[in-house]
C-alpha cells in the first residue's frame, strides 16, 4: 500500500472537507468583526468626551485650514492621557478575548481533524487535554507579538538619539532592516507555538511538553514539515499576488467608474483573499496532523529483503537458537 503524502492530504482535506475551512473563517472573521466594533465604540466614546466650545465651532465652520487646525488643537488639548488609557484598556481586553477565543477554536478544529484522520476512533482511548495548556501557548503568542511591536520601535528611538551622527539616508534603511528581521523572528516563533498547539489536543501534552514535542517533530521528520510549510507558503504567496493585482485593477477603475464601485471591488477582493488564506491555514493544519496520524516510511530493516532458508543450518541461525556444541556448526573436527 502506497504511503499517503501529508501535504497532499492537507490539500485534499481543504478541497473535499470545506467545513474545516469554513470553521476557520467563522471564528477569525467573528473576532475581527468584534475588534472593529469595539474600536468604533471606543472612538465614539472618546470623541463624545471632548468639549467643543462655540468659538471652536465658529473656527471649524470658517473652512480656513489654519483656523480649523487651531480649533482642533484646542479641542484635543489635554485629552491625550484619556486616549492612551482607553487604548491600553482596549488592547488588554482584546488580547484576553483573543487568547480565550483562539484556544476554544483551535481545540474544536484540531479535535475534528484528528477524528477525521483516525476514522472516528479519536474518542476511544484518546488522551485527555486541558484548556490551560492552550491558553498558555496563546499567552506566549500574544507576548511574542507585543515584544515584536516594541522591538520595531527600538530603532526609531535609537536613531532619534543618534540623529547627529548618522547620514540622512541611513535611518530608513536601518529601520526597514530591523523591522524585517523582527518580523521574521516573530513569524517563526508564532509558527512554532501554533504547531505546538496540535500536541495539546492530539497528545494531551501540557504547554512546555507541547513545545518539546514540536521540537522533536521538526527534528525527527524535517522533510514533511518543510514540504508542508513550502507548498502552503507558495500557495499563500500566489493568492496574495493575485489579490494584489485585482485590488490594483479595482483601484484603476475609479477613474472610469464611481469611487464607490472601485472601493467595493477592493473590499470584495480583500475579503476573498482573507477567506482563501483561512482555508489554506486549515489545510496546513490538516497536513501537520496527517504527519502525526498517518504512518511513516517503514524502517530500513523492514525494507531489507529476507534471506531465503537454505537448509537446517539457516533455520537455526535465523531463529536465534544456536547450539555451539552442535557438531554440524563446529569449526573444528569432531574429537572422537
pLDDT of residue 315: 43
pLDDT at position 70 is 81
Q: Which residue has the cell 471632548?
A: 50
Q: What is the mean pLDDT of residues 135-140?
A: 95
Confidence of residue 303 (pLDDT cuts 50, 70, 90): very low
What value does the mean pLDDT take over residues 301-324?
45
In the prediction, which pLDDT does 184 show? Answer: 92
For 227, how many CA atoms within 13 A lie in the half-sphere containing its CB? 15
pLDDT of 317 reads 42
pLDDT in the model for residue 258: 78
Q: Is residue 89 part of a domain?
A: yes
Residue percentage of the chain with pLDDT more than 90? 45
Residue 329's pLDDT is what?
A: 45
pLDDT at residue 306, rounded to an integer = 46
The pLDDT-based confidence of 319 (bands split at 50, 70, 90) is: very low
pLDDT band at 302 (very low <50, low <70, confident <90, very high): very low
- pLDDT single digits (tens) 140-174: 999 999 999 888 888 777 776 666 555 555 677 77
Predicted local distance difference test score (pLDDT) of residue 109 = 92
- Over residues 42-54, the pLDDT tens digits come to 888 888 887 777 8
Any idea which residue has 476573498 for its cell?
272
pLDDT tens across 40-99, in order?
A: 998 888 888 877 778 877 777 777 777 778 877 777 777 777 788 888 889 999 999 999
Chain centroid to Cα 67, Å, comes to 48
Q: Is the pLDDT of residue 331 over 80?
A: no
Q: What is the mean pLDDT of the chain?
A: 81
Residue 220 inside a domain? The answer is yes
* Residues 203-223: tens digit of each pLDDT: 888 999 999 999 999 999 999
- CA 126 → CA 46, 114, 118, 289, 316, distances in Å? 50, 10, 11, 15, 42
Q: 168-177, 244-253, 312-321: which has the minimum mean pLDDT?
A: 312-321
Q: Is residue 318 part of a domain?
A: no
pLDDT of residue 309: 46
Residues of the domain holding 187 = 6-294
- Whole-number pLDDT of residue 192: 93
Statement: residue 28 has pLDDT above 90: yes
% residues pLDDT > 70 (the chain): 80
- Residue 312 placed within a domain: no
Decide if 303 is inside a domain: no
Instruction: Tell me the C-alpha distance between 303 and 102, whole Å.
Output: 43
Is residue 245 situated within a structural domain?
Answer: yes
- Asked if pLDDT for residue 333 goes beyond 60, the answer is no
Domain count, the chain: 1
Between CA 103 and CA 137 the distance in angstroms is 9
Residue 300 belongs to some domain of the structure: no
User: Is residue 326 one of the residues assigned to a domain?
Assistant: no
Amino acid at each position: 500500500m502506497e504511503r499517503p503524502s501529508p501535504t497532499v492530504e492537507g490539500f485534499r482535506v481543504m478541497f473535499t472537507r470545506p467545513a474545516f475551512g469554513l470553521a476557520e473563517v467563522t471564528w477569525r472573521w467573528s473576532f475581527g468583526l468584534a475588534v472593529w466594533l469595539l474600536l468604533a465604540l471606543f472612538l465614539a466614546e472618546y470623541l463624545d468626551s471632548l468639549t467643543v466650545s462655540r468659538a471652536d465651532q465658529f473656527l471649524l465652520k470658517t473652512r480656513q485650514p489654519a483656523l480649523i487646525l487651531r480649533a482642533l488643537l484646542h479641542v484635543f488639548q489635554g485629552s491625550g492621557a484619556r486616549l492612551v488609557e482607553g487604548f491600553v484598556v482596549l488592547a488588554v481586553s482584546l488580547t484576553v478575548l483573543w487568547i480565550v477565543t483562539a484556544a476554544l477554536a483551535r481545540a474544536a478544529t484540531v479535535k475534528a481533524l484528528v477524528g477525521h484522520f483516525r476514522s472516528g476512533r479519536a474518542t476511544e482511548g484518546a488522551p485527555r487535554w486541558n484548556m490551560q495548556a492552550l491558553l498558555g501557548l496563546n499567552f506566549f503568542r500574544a507576548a511574542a507579538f507585543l515584544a515584536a511591536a516594541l522591538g520595531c520601535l527600538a530603532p526609531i528611538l535609537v536613531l532619534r538619539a543618534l540623529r547627529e551622527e548618522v547620514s540622512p539616508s541611513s535611518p530608513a534603511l536601518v529601520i526597514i532592516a530591523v523591522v524585517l528581521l523582527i518580523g521574521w523572528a516573530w513569524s517563526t516563533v508564532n509558527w512554532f507555538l501554533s504547531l505546538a498547539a496540535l500536541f495539546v489536543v492530539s497528545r494531551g501534552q501540557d504547554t512546555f511538553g507541547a513545545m518539546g514535542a514540536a521540537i522533536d517533530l521538526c527534528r525527527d521528520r524535517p522533510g514533511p514539515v518543510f514540504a508542508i510549510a513550502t507548498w502552503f507558503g507558495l500557495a499563500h504567496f500566489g493568492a496574495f499576488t493575485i489579490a494584489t493585482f485585482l485590488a490594483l485593477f479595482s483601484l484603476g477603475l475609479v477613474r472610469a467608474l464611481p469611487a464607490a464601485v472601485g472601493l467595493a471591488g477592493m473590499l470584495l477582493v480583500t475579503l476573498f483573499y482573507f477567506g482563501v488564506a483561512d482555508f489554506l491555514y486549515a489545510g496546513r493544519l490538516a497536513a501537520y496532523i496527517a504527519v502525526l496520524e498517518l504512518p511513516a516510511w517503514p524502517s530500513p530493516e523492514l525494507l531489507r529483503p529476507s534471506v531465503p532458508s537454505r537448509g537446517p543450518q539457516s533455520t537455526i541461525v535465523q531463529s536465534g537458537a544456536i547450539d555451539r556444541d552442535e557438531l554440524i556448526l563446529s569449526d573444528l573436527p569432531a574429537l572422537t
